[in-house]
Amino acid sequence: MTTGQGWPVAIGEAARRTGVSARMVRHYESLGLLPQVGRTDSGYRQYTEADVHALRFIGRARSLGFSMEEIRELMGLWQDQARASSQVKRIAQAHIDDLAERIAAMQAMQRTLQSLVQCCHGDQRPECPILDDLAAAGDSHQHAQTLSNQ
């Protein structure tokens, strides 16, 4: 944030200062993550220094993969000086657990695809275990397991 520049600022400047697009700024406002911002007589949004700080908070939380509901809860805790840090830690730990599950699922997908790629000759023949596995739809997990055991 540049000092010496007046507040409030228009949405474009708020977006520039936070690294959050103007479209997302409007979206966060519509979700109630930001309090209703002031407007000029001609209807342009005007963001205060506190709004810009909140937008940075939201942007950082999004970059760490928190959901909008988690961000809403974290913002409430951030603004509550009487909060217990255990509440914040609980939210962060639940997010870590969710990320670990998603990472494990992606690693399983990677292993399956690696097995399929290894089974594919990658030549001019039309036979392709990758396409066969995709076409097996309901049995794709079993099919990939069969291929990886060959």
* pLDDT at res. 3: 45
Residue 88 makes CB contacts below 8 A (sequence gap 6+) with: 74, 77
The whole model's pTM is what?
0.78
Distance (Å, whole) CA 150 – CA 147: 5
Task: Using 50 as the pLDDT threshold, list the residues of the chain that sit under it.
Answer: 1-3, 140
pLDDT at 13: 96
φ and ψ of 94, to 5 deg: -60, -40
The 10s digit of each residue's pLDDT in 69-108 is 999 999 999 999 999 999 999 999 999 999 999 999 999 9
The answer, yes or no, to whether the previous bond of 129 is cis (omega within 30 of 0) is no
Whole-Å CA distances, 62 to 28, 52, 56, 71 = 11, 15, 10, 8
pLDDT at 53 (0 to 100): 97
Amino acid of residue 20 = V
Pairing between strand 38-39 and 45-46?
antiparallel
pLDDT at residue 146, rounded to an integer:
55
Q: Are 18 and 55 in contact (CB under 8 A)?
A: yes
What kind and span of H or E run contains 60?
A: helix 49-63
